[in-house]
A and B are shown apart, each in its own frame.
Chain A
C-alpha cells in the first residue's frame, strides 16, 4: 500500500468508526434494561438550567453514554477477550475461566464481614429462639471458587480457615460441613449457583445431621431454555449456555408454598418451581420464585410434625424443596430482603424444632446486605 493511500484510508476508516458509533447513538434508540448485566440502564438525562449549571446533567450524561453505547455487550466482550488473550491476564472484571466455568474471584477474606454476619445470627437467635427447645445449626455453601481457584492459580481465601473462623464465631451452633459433598461440577458454569439435580447428597447430609435422613427419589426435569447465568453477563465472555433442570416427586408436588407479599404483608400462594420465571430474565429464579423475604413450604403429607426455619440466601431456594420430605413446615427467611427486627410480625417461631443458617461464602464475605 502506498503512503498516500494509507494517508487517505487511515483517517477515513477511523472517522467512519467514530461516526458510525455516533450515528448509532442518535438513531439506535435507548434500552431500558441490560439482559447480560441484569440491571437497569441509565437513559438520556433531563436537561434543565439547574442540572446543567450544577453539573448533574454532565455526570448523568457520562453514565448514559456508557450504558447506552451501541453494541455495548459486544464491546464488553472485546475488552474481556483482549484482557485474556492479548494481555494474558488471569482475570477480567474480577472473573476468571477454569474448566469451562466462569468464576468470580473471592479475595480477601473480610473478617469484619464475618463478625457482622455472626453478630446478626446471634441476635436472631437471641430475639426469636431464646429459651425455646430448638436445635440451631449453621452451614456454609462454598462458592465454586473453592474448587477452581487453586487450579486456576488465582487469589482465593482459604475456605477451611473461613469455615473455622465462622465456627469460632458461632460456638453455640452446630456446624454442618457440606464441603465434602460438593465439587465444581455441581455448579452452573455461567452462574454462581449450584445445580439442584447435583445437590441431593448435600440435602441428605444436612437433613441427616438434623436427625431426618432423606429417602425419597426424584424425577429430573430438564427445561427447554438456555440458561445464561449471572456471571455470563458480568464476565462478558463468549460462552455456551447451561441447561437447567429441577427435581420433583410426589412429596414436592404435594407441598403448599406461600410467600409474603411485601406490599400487603399477607401470605399468598406461590409455587415450588415458578415456570414463568424459568422463561424469564434469570431462570434460576424458578426455584421458589427467586428473591423473597419469607417463604413457607407446608408438607401436609409429612410423617413428622417438625418445623424448620431456614435462614438462607439464594442457594437455599434450590435446596429447600429437597428438605420438604423431612418437615411439616419449612419457613425460609432471607434477611437481605426484610429487616430482621420485624420477623416476629410475620412468622410464629414457637413451634420451631430446627433452625438452620445456611449462607454462601459469597454473601458472608460481604454480609452488610443482611438487615
Chain B
C-alpha cells in the first residue's frame, strides 16, 4: 500500500489524459504479476481473445456469424475457467463414480480468474446484444478488465457501467474525498473487523474445548467475517475507482437486514447476482416460462452460483440450499414473511448463518457435523470455559461488527447532516477529516504487526 499506491497515483495524475488508461493498465499488470507471475500471460491471452471477439461480433452484428463468434468467445472463456478451476473437481468425481484413476491435472487456480472471465463474458455478450459498442482500443479494454482495484476480488464491473468513463472521466477533490473515505472504511472493515472475526473462527477450529454456544459464536463470527472481508474489499475497490475517475456500482447493501432470502440476494454480492440474472437466468427464460421450467432455471442458476465460488460440493450444496429457499419463498413463504419485520429478519439471518456454515466447511461431512453440533446433537456441553473467555474477549468486536453490518451508523450520520442548521454538517465534516486519517494509521499499524492476510475472495 505504501509503495504501489503512491507510485500509481503520482504516475496517473502526471500522465497526460490520453495516457491515463495506459498507466492504469501497466500498473494493474504489475499489481497482478506481483502475486501471480505465472498466469499474467493467461490474463493477457483472455483479454486478447475478448478484444478480438468483441471486434468480430461488433463487425458482424445482425448476421448469423456473430452468433458463432459469440459462441466461440463463450467456449473459450468457459474452457479456460473449467480447465483451471474445475478440471480436477470433475476428474475426482468421475474417478469416484467409475472407480477409475484418471490422474488429476493439479492446476493452480489463477488469482481472480472467476472475476475477469465473467467481465470478459459480459463484454462480448453485451456487444452481441448491441448494448455496448466494441472497444476499438486494446489498451482501453485491457485497462477495464485488469483495473487493479477490482481485478482480483471484484466487484464484477460490467463494461457497460464504465464504457463512457474509459474515454472521458472527470477527477475532482470531491471524488477524491469520497474515494478516500470509501477506501479507508473498506480497509478498516477488512483489517479491524474481518481479520479479528476471522481469528475467532481459527480459534474455534483449533480449540479442544468446543461447545454448542461456541459453534454459534463461530457461525455468527464467520457470517460477519465474510461480509466485512468481501464488502471491505468492494469498498476499497469503489474508493480507488473514484480516485481514477470511475464510478463502480455498489456490491453490498447491508445484506444482513434482509427480511427474506430473496431480499438477501438483492443485497449480497450484487454484481454476481445481477450477472447470473442477466447472462444465465433471463437467457434460460427467467420466470416467463412454465412453472417447472422456472424451477429448473432457478436450480441451474444457483448451482452455478455455488460453483462459481469454488470447485467443491460444499459450494454447490450451498448454492442449491439457497435455490430451495428461494423457490419456497416464491411459492408461498414471502407472503407470510411480510407479516412480521422482526420474525422475517430472524428467519433470513438464521438461514444465511446456516448457509455460511455450509460454505465454510471443508467438506459436506464437516458441514453436517457443524450444523448438528449447533443444535446440540454433537454430544457437546452447552458452554465451556473457552467459550466464555472468547465471548468476553471478542464481545466488543462482535458488537461493533453487528452494528456496522446494519445501516444504523449511516442513518445517524445522515440525520446529523440533514439538521436544518449547518452545525450538523460541519460537525460531520470535522469528524470525517479526523476519523478517516486516524483509521488509516490504525489499519497500517495492524498491517505492520500482522502476518499477510489475503482477502477471502482472492481464491474465487
Chain A interface residues toward B at CB < 8 A = 1-11, 13-15, 17-19, 21-22, 25, 52-55, 58, 62, 65-66, 69, 72, 75-76, 78-80, 82, 87-91, 93, 108, 153-155, 236
User: A9: nearest residue on chain B (CB-CB)?
Assistant: B433
Nearest residue in B to A71 (C-beta to C-beta)? B448
Q: Contact flags (1/0) for B428-454 with A, using CB distance below 8 Å?
A: 011011001100111011111110100
Q: Determine chain B's interface SS by DSSP, over half rule.
A: helix
B71 interface contact, C-beta 8 A: no
Contact between chains at B396 and A1 (CB < 8 Å): no
Taken together as a complex, chains A and B put the C-alpha atoms of A13 and B438 apart, in Å, by 10
Taking a contact as CB atoms under 8 Å apart, the answer to whether A78 and B441 are in contact is yes
- Cα of A19 to Cα of B9 in the assembled complex, Å: 11
Q: A6-B429, A82-B192 are in contact. List 18 more A-B contacts (CB 8 A).
A: A1-B426, A2-B429, A3-B425, A10-B177, A10-B436, A11-B180, A25-B3, A58-B34, A65-B3, A72-B448, A75-B449, A76-B445, A76-B448, A78-B445, A79-B442, A79-B445, A79-B446, A89-B397
Contact present for B429 and A5 (CB under 8 Å): yes
* Given contact pairs A2-B429, A54-B37, A11 touches B2 in the complex (Cβ within 8 A): no
Do A21 and B444 touch across chains, with their CB atoms under 8 A apart?
yes
Query: Min CB distance, A78 to chain B, in Å?
Result: 4
List 9 A-B pairs, minimum CB-CB distance, nearest first: A6-B429, A11-B176, A78-B445, A7-B177, A1-B429, A75-B445, A79-B445, A88-B396, A75-B448
Is B440 a contact of A15 with CB atoms below 8 Å? no
Question: Are B449 and A154 in contact, CB atoms less than 8 angstroms apart?
Answer: no
Given A62-B452, A66-B448, residue A14 in contact with residue B3 (CB < 8 A): no
B163 part of interface (Cβ distance < 8 Å) = no
Closest to B5 in A: A18
Chain B residues near A1 (CB-CB < 8 A): 426, 429-430, 433
Of all chain A residues, the one with the shortest Cβ separation from B452 is: A62
Q: Is A11 within 8 A of B173, CB to CB? A: yes
8 contacts between A and B (CB under 8 A): A10-B437, A13-B433, A13-B437, A14-B436, A75-B449, A78-B441, A87-B397, A89-B397
Interface 0/1 of B361-401, CB less than 8 Å to A: 00000000000000000000000011001001111110010
Q: Is B6 an interface residue (CB 8 A)?
A: yes
Interface of A is mostly: helix
Decide: A89 and B393 in contact? CB cutoff 8 A: yes
Q: In the complex, which residues of chain B have a beta carbon less than 8 angstroms from the beta carbon of A54?
A: 37
CB distance from A86 to the nearest CB of B (A): 8
Residues of A within 8 A of B426 (CB): 1-2
- Complex: A236 Cα to B34 Cα, angstroms: 31
The residue that B177 contacts in the complex, of A6, A78, A87, with Cβ under 8 A, is: A6
A62 to chain B, nearest CB (A): 6
Taking a contact as CB atoms under 8 Å apart, the answer to whether A17 and B437 are in contact is: yes
Q: Are A17 and B37 in contact (CB under 8 A)?
A: no
Decide if B433 touches A58 in the complex (CB within 8 Å).
Answer: no
- Chain B interface: which size bin? 35 or more
For residue B447, give the distance in angstroms from its CB to the closest CB of chain A: 8
For B177, give the chain A residue with the smallest CB separation: A7
Judge whether B432 and A6 touch: CB under 8 Å: yes
Instruction: Kindly name the residue among A1, A62, A154 whose own CB sees the greatest number of chain B CB atoms within 10 A.
Output: A1
- Cα distance A1–B5 in the bound complex, in angstroms: 28
- B residues contacting A by CB (< 8 A) are 1-3, 5-6, 9, 34-35, 37, 173-174, 176-177, 179-181, 184, 192, 196, 208-209, 385-386, 389, 392-397, 400, 425-426, 429-430, 432-433, 436-437, 440-442, 444-450, 452
Q: Nearest B residue to A21 by beta-carbon distance?
A: B2
Query: Which of A2, A6, A13, A155 has most B Cβ within 10 Å?
Result: A6
- Cα A49 to Cα B34 in complex, Å, equals 13
Once A2-B429, A76-B449 are accepted as A-B contacts, the answer to whether A17 and B177 lie under 8 Å apart by CB is no
Please indicate the chain A residues that have their CB under 8 angstroms from the CB of B173 in the complex: 4, 7-8, 11
Which one of B1, B173, B425 has the greatest number of beta carbons of chain A within 10 Å?
A: B173
With a cutoff of 8 Å between Cβ atoms, the chain B residues found around residue A58 in the complex are: 34-35, 37
Given contacts A14-B180, A54-B37, contact A78 B430 (CB under 8 A): no
Indicate if the CB atoms of A53 and B37 lie closer than 8 Å.
yes
A7 and B436 alpha carbons, distance in the complex (Å): 12
Query: Whole-angstrom distance between the alpha carbons of A82 and B444 in the complex?
Result: 12
In whole angstroms, what is the CA distance A19 to B3 when docked? 9
Please, which residues of chain B bring their CB within 8 A of the CB of A2? 426, 429
Hey, which chain B residues are within 8 Å of A6, CB to CB? 177, 429-430, 432-433
Taking the nearest CB of chain B, how far is it from the CB of A204, in angstroms?
36
Assuming A69-B448, A76-B445, A155-B386, is B174 touching A7 (CB within 8 A)?
yes
A10-B180 in contact given A1-B433, A65-B2 (Cβ < 8 Å) = yes
Q: How far is the CA of A79 from the CA of B394 in the complex (A)?
A: 16
CB distance from A356 to the nearest CB of B (A): 32
Residues in A whose Cβ lies below 8 Å from that of B34: 58
Check A79/B395 contact, CB under 8 A, given A2-B429, A14-B437: no
B419 CB to closest chain A CB (Å) equals 14
CB distance from B343 to the nearest CB of A (A): 32
Which of chain A's residues have a CB closer than 8 A to the CB of B393?
Answer: 89-91
Choose among B392, B393, B442 the residue with the greatest number of A CB atoms under 10 Å from its CB: B393
Looking across the interface, which residue of chain A has its beta carbon closest to that of B191?
A: A79
CA distance A224 to B190 in the complex (A): 46
Is A87 in contact with B196, judged by CB distance below 8 angstroms?
A: yes
Check if A236 sits within 8 Å of B449, measured CB to CB.
Answer: yes
Complexed CA–CA distance, A1 and B417 (Å): 12
Q: How far is A11 from B432 in the complex, measured between Cα atoms in Å?
A: 11
Docked pose: A69 CA to B35 CA in angstroms: 20
A78 (CB) vs chain B CBs: closest residue:
B445
Give A9 to B397 CA distance when docked, in angstroms.
Answer: 30
Contact of A15 with B425 in the complex, beta carbons under 8 Å: no
| Most chain A CB atoms below 10 A, which of B209, B440, B448, B452 | B448
Chain A residue numbers with a CB within 8 Å of B450 are 79
B19 to chain A, nearest CB (A): 21
Assembled-state Cα–Cα distance A76/B446 (Å): 7
Give complex CA distance A80, B445 in Å.
Answer: 9
Give which listed residue, B392, B440, B449, contacts A17 with CB less than 8 A.
B440
> Closest CB-CB distance, B132 to chain A, in whole Å?
31
Q: How long is the Cα–Cα vector from A291 to B452 in the complex, in angstroms?
A: 32
Inter-subunit contact A22/B2 (CB<8 Å): yes
List B contacts of A79 (CB < 8 A).
442, 445-446, 448-450
> Once bound together, how far apart are the Cα atoms of A5 and B430, in whole Å?
10
How far, in whole Å, are A93 and B448 apart by their CA atoms in the complex?
A: 13
Query: CB < 8 Å: which of B9, B396, B432 contacts A10?
Result: B432
Closest B residue, CB atoms, query A15: B9
Check A153–B392 contact: CB distance below 8 A.
yes
Give CA–CA (A3, B1) in the complex, Å.
27
- C-alpha spacing A236/B180, complex, angstroms: 29
CB-CB under 8 A from B5, the residues of chain A are 18
Query: Complex Cα distance A76/B177, Å?
Result: 28
When chains A and B are docked, how far (Å) is the Cα of A89 from the Cα of B398?
Answer: 11
Q: Are A87 and B396 in contact (CB under 8 A)?
A: yes
